[in-house]
Structure 1
């Protein structure tokens, strides 16, 4: 198998398998991070590197912020271009992986492994889901850094390039730190040269990242009380590790039941949720351990390759095993890194078995043909499942309806309710939001239920629900609830109650938000506080030249009728 033929095969199969994802719409977080995120609709360096949707609540990802700002400025909301760039990245990474695997295995085996990586259904969430492009970018930067680290001699300029690529990987996604570990593992296992050189470079890179994040960006760590895994103690999270590892192994071998937003929690030590997954996990690692013992005794050079990929797999799984709580329990896109370690271990085992069989007798032609047909069947089966999974990502409703049937979850029910709300199907929205609250009652979904009733016109019910949400949200940032409550009082109830909420709960947090100053001006004007209304509307005008603000300003100046002021829809947290 020549290299050029292998590359053609990777490109052609990648295009065929993921072609139907190119015409999918924005779904899931694409709506929040791209469509509704005005921060990326214009170039603003402060949002790219400072507090924003991409940088905050525990994550710091300025490179995806830059990426989406650039794409939105060129393509707007034409999803085809987002998808095709993402597909090109994924195919490019599969090609890079092919070259990396060739350092350890034959060209034919490396091609097969690269194709499994390329077409496996667990990768759909990283390729078809636009907002997960950070998965591809961090892996791309990290893999390039690893490639530069393969040389025997490392010059200062090469080390600087390695550190820059690692920094880009860090700034894309926190998982990028795993590549620093992998680069160090490679140097220690295979080269044993320039170790201190790499350690110093890695330390400087980490310090630069911390400086950019904490000093320049002022983005720190956070905790999400609404996420089930974040409410568990360390010991309670450890109980979940067997089921988490089992999920990834099972999905890799039999990728049938795929779904987004999985927030299940193992809260009891029983047979089906703890002991059975633990038994399968132990069986897997015992088999992997026996392979390592055999290689250590018989084939020391192959043992190095085995150890390298074992560390790749284990580090990737541990990072996503809830030792530190993450924003969901499992996610298919989180296996983008660990799958390489699993494929590498499988390749080492296959090579060892093949060598044993070859020593005993030459492989017959029927055996070779049979092996080829098995590989062809595996790639075809995985590809077909991936093509089918791509169709689930067609649009928001299709994705959520399918995935709820696979694994119901409060967050998926919440998103589906918001979808029906935007479609003005209020009864369906109430049904699914109520189900979300039954599954996990938190301030977010209770607040969203209030907005549904407010838009439906049941203001009394909406107000009751907002106050119920405040009871659950009192230990976290409840500003979104106060915003909706102030909106309701301003437009549909007694505006005098909106004034203290705006002054005490909202504007101290958002002092430069023109919309909230506008709301305060309207509330003051409706209760006949002419002077206070003028002060608030003038403040709003200094912050924004929105025509609506100007028209309200003119109305207040001319003492026009307050009842002509139209309703402003409440906000959402999704």
Structure 2
């Protein structure tokens, strides 16, 4: 009993220590739209409003193709319990959730591996630097929530197999928890695959034994739940976000392999951050070579594990495959990311399982020198903890974050985001410098073209602004709706109202929740003397816009009265 409490305490402390310094950070990146400027999260007292809209779209003008009501509910509860939307309370909640996820992962490993392997694996999971974007970034919480519910659902299912008299109860609870995992993040759709590989491993890779241990009614119910979830997801997110087609992110096998290599590299060599947010800006560069070397070594290691029957290593590779497939480009998903480290929180479990096997093997072989193997393991944990602590400090504010991502990873998108940060702070020269740096790195960086277009429009250089904004539409991205809207503004200033009206419509087709485009479309409809359309858009604007647009709301109300 004392030993168990000590083990749990060590894992909990290990999961907390690296992130203490980041608790005093601010809202960064998507946190502003998802939490700080989101009226439903921050001010509305009825959480039921979270159930019928895409994630992140509530009155922010930021429509996504995601449906994550459980994640939204967690932010709403956090907001209700927080005084004046304190970011530290949200960050603390992320850290508590991460600790819970680590303890549940340990409990799951105890049902699959032996005690030493489970403890070593859980410790690696707790301190791995790949978790920084999920713990130190408030908006990264969705992956932690999804992991919590997936781990808990797996635990309940496996316990149900052991508890013959209460199997049905455990499995019903497991299915209910699976529903919560789906509501946290779409990645939970791979849950049946994870369950199958764990059962396959427990049956010593015997397909017949696995089939016998599989509860047929449970799997049938799980498939029905998945089907209902997909229908609900599609009905609520229809027409929102940017669809990433096969050509957008290159379904070519080269691009897929590079994305997978990117993840494998950062999981195996987390001390060195080569490129953070968007993997593989070009197919051939030094980073690409490092990624491919890591992938090649991983493939060789996987082959050896099959040949020499390293069953736990095989389990680790299957775990990795299950969680990597949805985010590598093999499955076309509606997302703006080619590859991003914050979406592989669960995949790190593969490294943890493999590490557990390695630690146990070393302990068994160095039986007379266990002190040496334990010392090496402790040093590895300390090194990972230090790397995680150092990296988490970069997430305290947007200037530090985007400067770090831009300088260390050479990311064009990070440079564009840094430009936006300077723009919001009124530092126009630094903003323009960052946008141009992004374009020197990648001429197709739409966020940089959009930023320059907005900047030139503010200087009344309308022709140049028009050219830049058109360049920002060369490929799908989260700024497309705003590019159409700003192009509409240029034509509006030129009194070309028909062209402006058409562009506002395009903006709203791309993002139905862009309330700024709603207002502009209403004003332009008035210029075109289309009273019915004007009334439609102005009412939508009044219903959707945030409180900071109260002045425009009042003007819209007065205009409606005159119609």
TM normalised by structure 1 equals 0.80
Matching residue within 338, 355, 361 for 1:346: 355
Shift of 1:415: 0.8
Q: Aligned residues, how many? A: 534
Match of 2:101 in 1: 93
CA distance in 2, matches of 1:121, 1:486: 44
What does the per-residue CA deviation read over 1:230-282, in whole Å, with 9 as the maximum and x for residues that have no partner? 34243342452563355235424xx22265412324535x99845x7545434
Matching residue within 480, 483, 489 for 1:481: 483
Superposition pairs of residues 382-421 of structure 1, within 5 angstroms: 382-421=384-423
CA distance in 1, matches of 2:104, 2:500: 59
Matching residue within 550, 554, 558 for 1:550: 554
What does the per-residue CA deviation read over 1:2-50, in whole Å, with 9 as the maximum and x for residues that have no partner? 0101122223333322111111111122223223344534346455433
Matching residue within 339, 342, 346 for 1:333: 342
Does the 8 A contact of 1:229 with 1:263 survive in 2?
A: no
1:308 aligns with 2:283: no
What does the per-residue CA deviation read over 1:134-188, in whole Å, with 9 as the maximum and x for residues that have no partner? 1101100000011012132463332222122222212222221232211122334
Shift of 1:91: 0.8
Kindly tell me: are residues 181 and 56 of structure 1, through their superposed partners in 2, closer, same or farther at Cα, counting changes over 3 Å? Answer: farther
Does the 8 A contact of 2:244 with 2:476 survive in 1?
A: no
Shift of 1:478: 4.9
Superposition pairs of residues 249-264 of structure 1, within 5 angstroms: 249-252=267-270, 255-257=271-273, 260-264=276-280
Does the 8 A contact of 1:188 with 1:195 survive in 2?
A: no
Shift of 1:395: 0.3
State the structure with more CA Rg. 1
Match of 1:247 in 2: 265
Superposition pairs of residues 39-78 of structure 1, within 5 angstroms: 39-41=40-42, 42=44, 43=46, 45=48, 48-53=51-56, 57-75=64-82, 76-78=84-86
CA distance in 2, matches of 1:101, 1:202: 23
Does the 8 A contact of 1:265 with 1:329 survive in 2?
A: no
Superposition pairs of residues 251-290 of structure 1, within 5 angstroms: 251-252=269-270, 255-257=271-273, 260-265=276-281, 267=283, 273=288, 277-278=291-292, 280-290=294-304
CA distance in 2, matches of 1:441, 1:509: 19
Match of 1:172 in 2: 184
Superposition pairs of residues 158-169 of structure 1, within 5 angstroms: 158-169=170-181
Match of 2:9 in 1: 8
Matching residue within 180, 188, 193 for 1:181: 193
1:212 aligns with 2:232: yes
CA distance in 2, matches of 1:318, 1:534: 48
Per the alignment, in what secondary structure is the counterpart of residue 272 of structure 2?
Answer: coil
Superposition pairs of residues 333-482 of structure 1, within 5 angstroms: 333-355=342-364, 357=365, 363-364=367-368, 367-438=369-440, 439-441=442-444, 443-469=446-472, 472=474, 478-482=480-484
CA distance in 2, matches of 1:118, 1:258: 22
Per the alignment, in what secondary structure is the counterpart of residue 60 of structure 1?
Answer: coil
Shift of 1:480: 2.5
CA distance in 1, matches of 2:390, 2:450: 35
Structure with the greater relative contact order (CA < 8 A, sep ≥ 6): 1 or 2? 2
CA distance in 2, matches of 1:332, 1:510: 26
Kindly tell me: are residues 436 and 32 of structure 1, through their superposed partners in 2, closer, same or farther at Cα, counting changes over 3 Å? Answer: farther
CA distance in 2, matches of 1:194, 1:50: 36
CA distance in 1, matches of 2:483, 2:236: 30
Shift of 1:417: 0.9
Does the 8 A contact of 2:7 with 2:119 survive in 1?
A: yes
Does the 8 A contact of 1:499 with 1:524 survive in 2?
A: no
Does the 8 A contact of 2:313 with 2:357 survive in 1?
A: yes
Kindly tell me: are residues 157 and 264 of structure 1, through their superposed partners in 2, closer, same or farther at Cα, counting changes over 3 Å? Answer: same
CA distance in 2, matches of 1:234, 1:37: 38
Does the 8 A contact of 1:187 with 1:195 survive in 2?
A: no
**Structure 2: gaps of 5 or more residues:** 204-208, 544-549
CA distance in 2, matches of 1:129, 1:22: 10
CA distance in 1, matches of 2:555, 2:320: 60
CA distance in 2, matches of 1:222, 1:475: 6
Matching residue within 143, 146, 149 for 2:151: 143
Shift of 1:393: 0.8
CA distance in 2, matches of 1:104, 1:504: 55
What does the per-residue CA deviation read over 1:519-552, in whole Å, with 9 as the maximum and x for residues that have no partner? 4565577x7x7x6679836973686284544347
CA distance in 2, matches of 1:108, 1:496: 71
